[in-house]
């Protein structure tokens, strides 16, 4: 029971970490809480499903197509809407929600509201680790998240573009003065975030179900992860994603599975009560 | 410019007389206008056919809920995305109170008090957050209320929902109640917007730190605003329960609060008639055209994002601009 809860928690935590990393990246550069990330996940998942089942592509090719679509849609959200609200922090969260409403309902109109499932070649496999059973899709999720986060970390630390991204998230004006093109960095950040959303769709679709509102509730948990881990902090997102995943998994096993999401809410409440300032004040300017 | 004015001078003179008379009425003019609007709405509700009447009833019930939201979100500038939860508490609270044997007129204030209490709790926790954190906290609160409505089966019957006892003698009485409540909600917002609470909320909208600095009790003001919003949202919920006859959790899902915020912003946040105009667009048009839910919400999202970017004052600000252009230039006093 305990070991199984740990295993479930790691799988859930890997998903939270994957989502949290994308959110923290886009928040870092544009100060927009990117609720539309959930819509990107939905559309990427449906693209994979459609390419695989209707267009007859192989599963892995379809996943690649879904990732590309996720990246492009994510960049589009930034180009179409977010750049207009950069100077209006009050409007940013609700415009992001508006984009989510649009993307989710595009999925609903195009693909209908039924719950369908994305099935990779290894869908039915279960891996036994002593007393613990982990479905192969869960292992794939953890592996995907680990590789993606490691790749993201190396990209941000070691590459020229990654350093430029960090510079923009620390101080956009100073970065612009030093010759970094902001618009291009926004596009890069949102493209990466879209790819991460696509990876989440690939990992999440086979575990749960694909439907228009599939990622909405889980995205709120990912925001708790971002708040816990510190804004713009990828390592923090990974660690706190795992933490929240384990916490919710234990809650589901030992308290009540129906109220699992409540635990994320409780963590958010605790954070707000215990750390009311600093992390939580949107009026603060990020300095250096 | 001048020849146009002189060509319509007779009309203008009469117009000036009317507007001077109206100006003499002072603030009563606004309330008179709202009351007249209420009578017209009631006549439309009572006299049109069942389909149009039901669309109008849905619009008016949303107008009440978004008028409540208008206090904290329109005047105070706080994106309270949890109004759908208060709406749900109103519907479920009154239905459950009536199941326990309370008459409708007692169940309504009880449900409003329950929502106000929830608003107070949410406010105490989240009033210390701003911007995105406030929005995330509000969304999450709405999600938790929806979760409870879905899972507290002994009280709410879960996804199956509840049957609501009818608290009126007939549908005509219910129509009167809906029109009267919508009128009162609009009037109440007009009252609050010019009260001390309203001015204080506006200072918070403009600059919260400065407001705090000059002695506005910002936390208390925000709490009062949120509690009033919650109670009015619950009032709307009691009416939707009566109108539908059955309620289920999906009517009050967490994104309903966001769609209410969308309606308010599209109509014109902080404006008395903003909620009515927004509800016409977000609830009325999809219902009238009989659009499937997906397309209706897609349109709502597109209109909302477009309005947020191009017309931050909502459609009311477009109407203002239009009236200003039509109206003859005001002469010297």
As a dihedral over the C-alpha atoms of residue A271, residue A273, residue A277, residue A280, rounded to 10 degrees, the angle is 50
pLDDT of residue A2: 83
Q: Would you say B83 and B237 are in contact if contact means Cβ atoms under 8 Å apart?
A: no
> For position B154, what pLDDT does the model report?
85
* In a domain? residue B306: no
The residue assigned the tokens 């002072």 is B26
Q: Is A257 on the interface with B (CB under 8 A)?
A: no
H-helix or E-strand spanning residue A167: helix A160-170
Burial class (CB in 10 A: 0-12, 13-18, 19+), A128: exposed
Q: Give the nearest chain B residue to A35 (CA atoms).
A: B136
Distance CA B217, CA A198 (A): 46
| pLDDT at A214 (0 to 100) | 85
**For residue B20, pLDDT beyond 80:** no
3-class DSSP string for B207-222: CHHHHHHCCCCHHHHH
Q: Which of B130, B137, B258 sits opposite A97 (nearest CB)?
A: B258
Residue B319 lies in a domain: no
SS3 B80: coil
Length in residues, chain B: 333
Contacts of A28 in chain B (CB under 8 A): none
What is the tally of structural domains in chain B? 1
Is residue B39 one of the residues assigned to a domain? yes
Rounded to the nearest 10°, the torsion over CA B179, B182, B187, B192 is 160
Q: Residue B294: inside a domain, yes or no?
A: no
Q: What is the pLDDT of residues A119-164, one digit of tens each?
A: 888 877 888 877 888 888 888 889 999 999 999 999 988 898 888 8
Chain B residues in contact with A100 by the CB 8 A cut-off are 301
HSE-CB at A67 with a 13 A cutoff on CA atoms is 15
Cross-chain CB nearest to B126 (options A101, A264, A272):
A272
Interchain CB contact of A68 with B (< 8 Å): no
Bridge partner residues of A129 (DSSP): A132
pLDDT of residue B195: 93
Q: Closest Cα partner for B188 from B71, B37, B25, B57?
A: B71
- pTM for this one? 0.86
Query: Which residues in chain A touch residue B300, judged by CB atoms under 8 angstroms apart?
Result: 101
Using a CB-CB distance cutoff of 8 angstroms, which residues of chain A are in contact with residue B305? 81, 95, 98-99, 102
B262-281 pLDDT, tens digit per residue, is 999 999 988 999 999 999 99
* pLDDT tens figures, B104-121: 999 999 999 999 999 999
How many other C-beta atoms are found inside a 10 Å radius of the C-beta of residue A263?
20
User: What pLDDT score was predicted for residue A37?
Assistant: 92
Percent of chain B with pLDDT over 70: 90
As a whole number, mean pLDDT of residues B181-205 equals 93
Q: Which residue of A has its CA nearest to B121?
A: A269
So what's the pLDDT on residue B11? 53
In this prediction, residue B21 has a pLDDT band, given cuts at 50, 70 and 90, of low
pLDDT at A42: 93
Angle CA(A93)–CA(A98)–CA(A101) in degrees, nearest 5?
Answer: 130
pLDDT along chain A (288 residues), means of 10: 85 90 86 89 93 88 93 92 77 86 91 84 80 84 91 90 86 85 88 93 84 85 82 80 90 80 82 58 34
With respect to residue B124, please indicate whether it lies within any of the assigned structural domains.
yes
Report the candidate in A192, A220, A194 with the shortest Cα–Cα distance to residue A44. Answer: A194
pLDDT the model gives residue B14: 62
Which among B74, B61, B106, B85 has a CA at the least distance from the CA of B243? B61
CA distance A241 to A227: 10
Token output for A175? 């970065």
pLDDT surpasses 60 at B255: yes
| Span B166-174, average pLDDT | 88
Query: Which range has the top average pLDDT, A238-252, B65-79, B141-155?
Result: B65-79
How far apart are alpha carbons B21 and A125 in whole angstroms?
Answer: 81
Positive or negative, the CA dihedral B42, B48, B53, B59 is negative
Q: Which residues contact B123 (CB under 8 A, 6 or more apart)?
A: B222, B223, B226, B227
Say yes or no for a CB contact (<8 Å) between B128 and A105: no
Q: Can you give the residue range of the structural domain that contains B236?
A: 32-255
- Under the banding of pLDDT at 50, 70 and 90, the label for residue B7 is very low
Give the pLDDT confidence score for residue B23 in this predicted structure.
67
pLDDT at B163: 87
Which of A85, A98, A227 should one mutate to test binding to chain B, selecting the residue with the greatest count of B CBs within 10 A? A98
Region B283-289 average pLDDT: 88
Q: How far is A97 from chain B (nearest CA, A)?
A: 8
For residue B275, is it within any domain? no
Partner B contacted by A272 (CB < 8 A): yes
Give the pLDDT confidence score for residue B71 in this predicted structure.
Answer: 95
B15: pLDDT confidence band, cut at 50, 70 and 90? low
Number of inter-chain CB pairs under 8 A, A vs B = 129
Does the residue B284 lie in any domain?
A: no
Indicate if the pLDDT at residue B290 is higher than 50. Answer: yes
B297/A99 CB distance under 8 A: no
* ipTM of predicted assembly, 2 dp: 0.82
pLDDT reported for residue A286: 37
Sign of CA dihedral B174, B175, B177, B181: positive
With beta carbons less than 8 A apart as the criterion, state whether A190 and A198 touch: no
Confirm whether B277 is domain-assigned: no
Measured CA to CA, the distance from residue B163 to residue B84 in angstroms comes to 19
């Amino acid at each position: 029971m305990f070991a199984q809860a740990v295993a479930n928690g790691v799988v859930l935590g890997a998903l939270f970490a994957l989502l949290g990393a994308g959110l923290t990246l886009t928040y870092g550069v544009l100060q927009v809480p990117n609720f539309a990330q959930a819509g990107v996940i939905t559309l990427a998942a449906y693209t994979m499903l459609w390419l695989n089942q209707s267009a007859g592509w192989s599963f892995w090719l379809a996943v690649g197509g879904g990732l590309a679509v996720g990246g492009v849609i994510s960049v589009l959200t930034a180009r179409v809407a977010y750049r207009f609200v950069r100077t209006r922090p009050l409007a940013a969260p609700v415009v992001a929600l508006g984009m989510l409403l649009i993307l989710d309902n595009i999925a609903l109109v195009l693909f209908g509201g039924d719950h369908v499932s994305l099935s990779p070649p290894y869908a039915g496999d279960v891996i036994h680790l002593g007393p613990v059973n982990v479905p192969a899709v869960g292992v794939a999720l953890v592996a995907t998240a680990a590789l993606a986060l490691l790749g993201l970390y190396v990209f941000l630390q070691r590459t020229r573009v990654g350093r430029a991204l960090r510079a923009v998230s620390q101080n956009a004006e100073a970065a612009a003065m030093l010759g970094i093109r902001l618009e291009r960095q926004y596009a890069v950040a949102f493209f990466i975030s879209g790819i991460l959303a696509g990876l989440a769709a690939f990992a999440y679709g086979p575990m749960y179900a694909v439907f228009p509102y599939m990622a909405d509730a889980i995205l709120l948990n990912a925001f708790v992860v971002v708040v816990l881990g510190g804004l713009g902090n990828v390592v923090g997102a990974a660690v706190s994603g795992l933490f929240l995943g384990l916490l919710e998994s234990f809650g589901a096993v030992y308290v009540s599975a129906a109220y699992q999401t409540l635990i994320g809410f409780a963590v958010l409440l605790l954070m707000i009560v215990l750390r009311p300032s600093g992390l939580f004040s949107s009026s603060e300017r990020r300095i250096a | 410019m001048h020849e146009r004015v002189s060509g319509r001078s007779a009309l203008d003179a009469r117009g000036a007389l009317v507007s001077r008379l109206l100006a003499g009425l002072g603030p009563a003019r606004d309330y008179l206008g709202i009351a007249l609007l209420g009578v017209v709405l009631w006549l439309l509700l009572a006299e049109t056919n069942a389909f149009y009447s039901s669309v109008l009833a849905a619009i008016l019930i949303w107008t009440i809920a978004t008028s409540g939201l208008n206090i904290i979100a329109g005047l105070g500038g706080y994106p309270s995305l949890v109004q759908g939860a208060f709406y749900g508490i109103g519907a479920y609270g009154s239905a459950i109170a009536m199941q326990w044997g309370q008459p409708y007129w007692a169940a309504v204030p009880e449900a409003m008090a329950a929502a106000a209490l929830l608003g107070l709790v949410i406010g105490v926790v989240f009033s210390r957050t701003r911007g995105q954190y406030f929005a995330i906290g509000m969304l999450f609160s709405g999600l938790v209320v929806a979760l409870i409505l879905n899972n507290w089966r002994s009280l709410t019957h879960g996804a199956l929902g509840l049957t609501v006892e009818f608290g009126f003698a007939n549908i005509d009485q219910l129509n009167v109640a809906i029109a009267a409540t919508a009128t009162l909600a609009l009037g109440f917002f007009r009252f609050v917007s010019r009260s001390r609470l309203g001015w204080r909320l506006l200072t918070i909208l403009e600059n919260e730190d400065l407001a705090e600095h000059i002695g506005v009790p910002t936390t208390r003001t925000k709490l009062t605003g949120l509690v009033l919003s919650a109670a009015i949202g619950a009032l709307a919920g009691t009416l939707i329960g009566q109108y539908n006859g059955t309620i289920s959790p999906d009517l009050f899902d967490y994104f309903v609060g966001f769609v209410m915020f969308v309606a308010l912003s599209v109509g014109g946040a902080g404006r008395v008639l903003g909620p009515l105009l927004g509800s016409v667009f977000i609830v009325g048009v999809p219902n009238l055209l009989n659009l499937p839910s997906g397309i209706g919400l897609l349109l709502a999202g597109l209109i909302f994002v477009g309005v947020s970017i191009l017309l931050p004052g909502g459609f009311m600000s477009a109407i203002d601009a239009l009236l200003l252009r039509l109206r003859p230039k005001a002469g010297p006093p």
